[in-house]
Amino acid sequence: MKYSIEGEPMPVVICDVEAGEKLSCESGAMAWMSPNMKMETSGGGLGKVLGRAFSGETLFLNNYTAEGGPGLIAFSTNVPGSIRAFEINPGREIVAQKNAFLACEAGVDLSVFFQKKVGSGFFGGEGFIMQKLSGQGMAFLEFDGYVKEYDLQAGESMIIDTGYLAAMDATCSIDIRTVPGIKNALLGGEGIFNTVISGPGHIWLQSMPVPQLAGVIAKFIPSKN
C-alpha cells in the first residue's frame, strides 16, 4: 500500500492498494474510492464491539478490499486537525485518545486500554478509557488541531491538561495529579486535575480538543427560551 496525507487543516489520507489488500475504517470515514473497492461491515466479535463502544468508536468497522486489480480509497477527518500515520508492530504499540482511530490495514488490532490506577479512571477523563493499537500494519489516526510531539526519556514526564493528550507510545504511563492549592484549583479555570505522562516513549499532543472547541462555540449559540 502507498498513501499520501493531503489538505490540512481538513486532511484526507489517500491510499493506493494492491489487488486483495484490505483496509478497515470507522463508520463514515470513507470519503471516496475506486469502483472496485468492495465494502463489508463487521464487528469482529462481541468483545471487540463492546470495546469499541467503551473507547468511543462506532460499534462496527467497514472493511474495504480491492477486487480485480489495484484500487484507491480516501479517508477524511471529522474536524479540523491532522492525520498521522503509524507503523504498528509488536515492538511499537500505540495508545490513543477516544475517537482517534480513522483507518488501518488488516493486520492491526484495536482494543480498549484501561488505566491500571483507579484514580486515573475517575478523574482523568480521556486518561481512563483509551484505544490501543497492536499487531502488524499501518494505521491512521486523526488528531484535533495542531500536533506537537515530544520524546520522553525514562524518568521524564509532562503535565498535560486533560484532553490535550492525542496519543503515546504504549511504553509511556499515565497518572493523575491534583492542581496544587485550593484557590488555584477552584479559580484558575484549568480544572482540578492534570494528566501526567511519564517516559520512556513518544507522545503526541493536540492543540484543539473537540470538547474544548465545543465549549467555546456553545457560548456564541443563543439559548432557546
| 223 within a domain of the structure (yes/no) | no
Mean pLDDT in order along the chain per 10 residues (225 residues): 94 97 92 97 56 54 96 94 97 92 94 64 54 96 96 96 92 81 45 83 94 78 75
Helices (H) and strands (E) in the chain, counts: 4, 19
CA end-to-end distance (rounded Å), the chain = 54
Would you state the pLDDT for residue 210? 83
Q: pTM of the entire structure?
A: 0.84
Q: Which residues pair with 113 in a beta bridge?
A: 130
Cell numbers placing 182: 485550593
Phi and psi (nearest 5°) for 130? Answer: -125, -175
**Minimal CA–CA distance to 194: which of 209, 180, 214?**
180
CATH code for position 131: 3.60.160.10
| 109 within a domain of the structure (yes/no) | yes
Would you state the pLDDT for residue 77? 92
Would you state the pLDDT for residue 180? 59
Domain of 164? 2-218
Distance CA 217, CA 225 (A): 19
| 16 within a domain of the structure (yes/no) | yes
Q: List the strands of the sheet with 94-96, edge to edge.
A: 108-114, 129-135, 94-96, 165-169, 201-206, 147-152
Would you state the pLDDT for residue 27? 85
Cell numbers placing 92: 511499537
Distance CA 177, CA 160 (A): 10
Tally of structural domains, the chain: 1
| 225 within a domain of the structure (yes/no) | no
| 93 within a domain of the structure (yes/no) | yes
Do 172 and 196 form a contact (C-beta atoms < 8 A)?
no
| 224 within a domain of the structure (yes/no) | no
| 100 within a domain of the structure (yes/no) | yes
